[in-house]
Structure 1
Amino acid sequence: MSEHIAEIVPLAKPTIGVRLSSVQPERVEWLWDHRIPLGKITVLDGDPGLGKSLVSIDLAARITRGKRMPDGSPGFEGDVVLMSAEDGLGDTIRPRLELAGANLDRVTSLATLPTNEGQERVAVIPDDLPHIIAVVQETAAVLVIIDPLMAFLSSRINAHRDQDVRRALAPLALAANKYRFAVLIIRHLNKSSTTSNPLYRGGGSIGIGGAARSAMVVAEDPDNRDRRIIAPTKSNLGPRTASLVYRIEADDDTPRIVWDGTSDHGAETLLAQSSVEERSQRTMARDFIREQLADGPAEGKAVEERAAELDIKHSTLWRAKNDLKVISRKSGFSGGWVWELPKNVT
Structure 2
Amino acid sequence: MSIITNSGNNGQPLQIRAREAADSLLREVNRHAPEDQTSALQALLGDFLATTRDVFLCEMVLSELARRLRLHPKTLRELVATAPESSPVTCHPFKAVTMTAENPRVSRFADLASIEPKDVEWLVDRLLARGKITLLDAPPGAAKTSFAVALTHALSTGSRFIGLDTVPCKTLWLQFEMSDGDLALKYEQLGGLPQGAVFIAPEPEPLRESYAQLVNGVLAENIGVVVVDLLYDWLALEDYNDIAQARAGMQLLRRFVNDTSCAVLGIRHVFKGASLSTPHAGAGSHIFAGKADFCFTLEADIEQSDIATLRAVKARYGSLRAWTITLRLQDGRFLPVEQPREVPLHQQVADYVRRTGRRVAKAEILERFNTCSEPSLRRALEKAVRFGVLQVKYERTGRSTRALFWASECDESSPVTVTPLNRRQVTGECDVMPATDSDGGSADPFADAGGDSLWQCDPISGEWYPRHAGGGER
Taking a change above 3 Å as real, the CA distance of residues 100 and 196 of structure 1, as seen in their structure-2 partners, is closer
After TM superposition, the score normalised by the length of structure 2 is: 0.46
Residues in 2 aligned to 1:56 and 1:199: alpha-carbon distance in whole angstroms: 19
- Which residue of 2 is the match for residue 226 of structure 1? 306
Residue deviations 1:2-50 (CA, integer Å, cap 9, x gap)? xx99953567786x76543442111112111122222110000001111
Residues in 2 aligned to 1:149 and 1:111: alpha-carbon distance in whole angstroms: 17
Q: Is the 8 A contact 2:247 2:288 kept in 1?
A: yes
Residue deviations 1:68-90 (CA, integer Å, cap 9, x gap)? 2222x322111101011111111
Residue deviations 1:105-142 (CA, integer Å, cap 9, x gap)? 22111252xxxxxxxxx411233222221221111011
Matched, 1:172 2:253: yes
Q: Which has the larger radius of gyration?
A: 2
What letter matches 1:163 in structure 2? A
Residues in 2 aligned to 1:158 and 1:36: alpha-carbon distance in whole angstroms: 28
- Which residue of 1 is the match for residue 135 of structure 2? 43
What letter matches 1:20 in structure 2? L
Matched, 1:245 2:337: no
Residues in 2 aligned to 1:263 and 1:11: alpha-carbon distance in whole angstroms: 63
Q: Secondary structure at the match of 1:201?
A: coil
Output the aligned Cα RMSD: 2.9
Residues in 1 aligned to 2:242 and 2:293: alpha-carbon distance in whole angstroms: 20
Matched, 1:153 2:241: no
Q: Secondary structure at the match of 1:200?
A: coil
Q: Is the 8 A contact 1:66 1:77 kept in 2?
A: yes
Which of 197, 200, 211 is the matching residue for 2:291? 211
Shift of 1:153: 2.0
- Which residue of 1 is the match for residue 11 of structure 2? none
Q: Is the 8 A contact 2:126 2:318 kept in 1?
A: yes
Q: Is the 8 A contact 1:249 1:258 kept in 2?
A: yes
Instruction: Identify the structure with bigger relative contact order (alpha carbons < 8 Å, sequence gap 6+).
Output: 1
Residues in 2 aligned to 1:24 and 1:181: alpha-carbon distance in whole angstroms: 21
Taking a change above 3 Å as real, the CA distance of residues 196 and 83 of structure 1, as seen in their structure-2 partners, is closer
Residues in 1 aligned to 2:257 and 2:97: alpha-carbon distance in whole angstroms: 40
Residues in 1 aligned to 2:202 and 2:268: alpha-carbon distance in whole angstroms: 16
Taking a change above 3 Å as real, the CA distance of residues 6 and 109 of structure 1, as seen in their structure-2 partners, is closer
List alignment gaps of at least 5 residues for structure 1.
113-121, 251-255, 265-346
Matched, 1:78 2:169: yes
Aligned positions of 1:285-304 closer than 5 A: none
Q: Is the 8 A contact 1:82 1:146 kept in 2?
A: yes
What letter matches 2:268 in structure 1? R
Sequence identity of aligned pairs in percent?
A: 21
Residues in 1 aligned to 2:339 and 2:140: alpha-carbon distance in whole angstroms: 21
Residues in 1 aligned to 2:338 and 2:177: alpha-carbon distance in whole angstroms: 29
Taking a change above 3 Å as real, the CA distance of residues 80 and 6 of structure 1, as seen in their structure-2 partners, is closer
Q: Secondary structure at the match of 2:306?
A: strand
Matched, 1:202 2:275: no
Which of 67, 70, 80 is the matching residue for 2:159? 67
Taking a change above 3 Å as real, the CA distance of residues 104 and 85 of structure 1, as seen in their structure-2 partners, is farther
Taking a change above 3 Å as real, the CA distance of residues 86 and 75 of structure 1, as seen in their structure-2 partners, is same
How many pairs align? 241
What letter matches 2:136 in structure 1? L
Residues in 2 aligned to 1:23 and 1:179: alpha-carbon distance in whole angstroms: 21
Shift of 1:59: 1.0
What letter matches 2:115 in structure 1? V
Taking a change above 3 Å as real, the CA distance of residues 227 and 197 of structure 1, as seen in their structure-2 partners, is closer
Shift of 1:104: 4.6
- Which residue of 1 is the match for residue 187 of structure 2? 97
- Which residue of 2 is the match for residue 260 of structure 1? 336
What letter matches 2:168 in structure 1? E
Q: Is the 8 A contact 1:111 1:123 kept in 2?
A: no
What letter matches 2:265 in structure 1? L
Q: Is the 8 A contact 1:97 1:104 kept in 2?
A: no
Q: Secondary structure at the match of 2:235?
A: coil
Residues in 2 aligned to 1:154 and 1:124: alpha-carbon distance in whole angstroms: 6
- Which residue of 1 is the match for residue 244 of structure 2? 163
- Which residue of 2 is the match for residue 128 of structure 1? 210
Which of 263, 266, 288 is the matching residue for 1:185? 266
Shift of 1:185: 0.4
Taking a change above 3 Å as real, the CA distance of residues 12 and 189 of structure 1, as seen in their structure-2 partners, is closer
Residues in 2 aligned to 1:86 and 1:243: alpha-carbon distance in whole angstroms: 27
What letter matches 2:175 in structure 1? S
- Which residue of 1 is the match for residue 316 of structure 2? 236
Residues in 2 aligned to 1:11 and 1:175: alpha-carbon distance in whole angstroms: 35
After TM superposition, the score normalised by the length of structure 1 is: 0.62
Residues in 1 aligned to 2:266 and 2:161: alpha-carbon distance in whole angstroms: 18
Shift of 1:103: 2.3
Taking a change above 3 Å as real, the CA distance of residues 257 and 11 of structure 1, as seen in their structure-2 partners, is farther
Taking a change above 3 Å as real, the CA distance of residues 55 and 19 of structure 1, as seen in their structure-2 partners, is same
